[in-house]
Amino acid sequence: MTHILFIALKFILERKRQTFVSIAGVSIGVAAFIVMASLMNGFQNYFIEQAIDLNAHITIKVKPQTVEDKIVRRYYGENVVADVYGAKPEEKKDKITNYRFIISKYSKEPDFLGLAPHLVGQAIVKYSTLEKSATVIGIDPIQERKASVIDKFVENSNINSLLTDRNSIIIGKLLAKDLGIDQLNKKVIITFPNGSQGIFKVADFFNSGITTLDQTRLYINIRTYQAMTNRPGEVNEIIIKLKDVNKAERLARKIGSETGYYAESWQKAYKNFLQLFKIQNYITYMIVFAILVVSAFGIFNIIMMVVMEKRKDIAILMAMGYEKEDIIKIFTVQGLLNGVAGAVIGSVVGYGIQEWLSSINLDVEGLVRAKGFILDRSFIYYIYGVVFAFVFSLVASFYPSYKASKLNPVDIFRSG
């Protein structure tokens, strides 16, 4: 095997410029895969982690039911076939009537870590002359801690102020910024849907890093919210925290069938984003695949040219006793050496780019907010990059190697 490696290296070094180009192509493909996978998966994992922490693993709520053909069937019978457009949802009270029983029942289940009631609605928040709409969530801080990690996103850890002072609120960081609030203890006026108003003190800021939530969310004591909206003892959501978030979809179906309410898992709540992430991954892999295919064609062309130029050398090797399998090994090893060299260099370059990106300090504003790029530094991307380079190099070098093994040394010597 040593002599095969020696001959393969000699063929490589005789064409330094072409070898450099082929190695560079593989290096670019591997580095691109490592960096793009790190960026894409870093962002996606960050978003999913935040989404899982911020929103319930499972949410139980009342879902409006639309019976499109109810009136049609009443007058024309059950056998009529009709399509109804623009049907109004059925009037139904936004209330979970037996929420205490549900919380008590599922609190004993081993898959559940905690449950908490919510009263969710809309309101207008006014500070000075500025007004903004907000999603108001009435919570019980004690139960909320069992069913979520809200303390992680409250900047000054003042969530207990909702218990000690029922006229205090926790307001989204960006919502406060839009209203011109940059300090605690500022007073705001909240107007609720039933027309009632109240003056509330800002006890803390809610800062999740997800823009849409920080621009709209506002927490208030659930008893205060019930009193202000004339809904004593009512809740319209129950949030559930699970031991294993991957079981959310299955457990949501079970809860829905047992309670009769709509149970939504976090996967269903963020279905659109998860589909978008899949599309992003497909695009990333297609781009890297295209780069590696181009580099594979480079290896293919170079080895093919070597085979054509080294026909006499191949004939001499065969005359010396080299078998067809040995000729295949020589040129296959040549391609693999290019691929391995490109994979190593690409991995080093990819690591260097990751380090550079992680050192950049900039405010990323969009779907999420972060200080700089969010990277997933998993070692698995380097393994995948090396494997891809190895496979593409092997495939690209095999056909020229096979063609070289089919040369007839007698014909080559006769042709001069």
Nearest CA to 166 out of 199, 128, 194, 192 is that of: 199
Residue 48 lies in a domain: yes
Residue 319 lies in a domain: yes
CB 202 within 8 A of CB 190: no
Residue 382 lies in a domain: yes
- 322 and 382 belong to one structural domain: yes
- 170 and 139 belong to one structural domain: yes
- 324 and 215 belong to one structural domain: no
Among positive and negative, which fits the CA dihedral 6, 11, 16, 18? negative
Give the residue numbers spanning the domain of 219.
Answer: 94-260
Element holding 412 (H helix, E strand): helix 409-414
Rounded Cα distance between 108 and 220, Å, is 28
Residue 320 lies in a domain: yes
Residue 140 lies in a domain: yes
Residue 57 lies in a domain: no
- 338 and 406 belong to one structural domain: yes
CB 217 within 8 A of CB 135: yes
- 187 and 298 belong to one structural domain: no
- 249 and 227 belong to one structural domain: yes
- 48 and 123 belong to one structural domain: no
Residue 373 lies in a domain: yes
Domain edge (last residue) among 237, 260, 283 = 260
- 252 and 134 belong to one structural domain: yes
- 235 and 363 belong to one structural domain: no
CB 78 within 8 A of CB 94: no
Backbone angles phi, psi at 118, to 5 degrees: -130, 150
Task: Report the amino acid identity of residue 412.
Answer: I
Quote the number of domains for the chain: 2
CB 173 within 8 A of CB 207: yes
- 368 and 242 belong to one structural domain: no
- 232 and 288 belong to one structural domain: no
Query: Which residues face 370 on adjacent strands?
Result: 364
pTM: 0.65
CB 164 within 8 A of CB 204: no
Domain edge (last residue) among 260, 284, 300 = 260
Predicted confidence pLDDT, tens digits, the chain (416 residues): 676 776 766 666 666 777 787 788 888 888 888 888 888 888 778 777 777 777 788 999 887 655 555 555 565 555 666 665 655 555 456 788 888 899 988 888 888 988 999 999 999 999 988 999 999 999 998 898 888 888 888 888 888 889 888 899 999 999 999 999 989 999 999 999 888 999 999 999 998 877 888 888 999 999 999 999 999 989 989 999 888 888 888 999 999 888 888 898 888 887 887 788 888 788 877 887 787 777 777 777 777 776 666 666 667 777 777 677 777 777 777 778 888 888 899 899 999 998 888 888 766 665 566 667 778 888 888 988 888 888 888 877 777 776 676 666 666 666 65
- 250 and 102 belong to one structural domain: yes
Domain edge (last residue) among 260, 285, 300 = 260
Residue 340 lies in a domain: yes
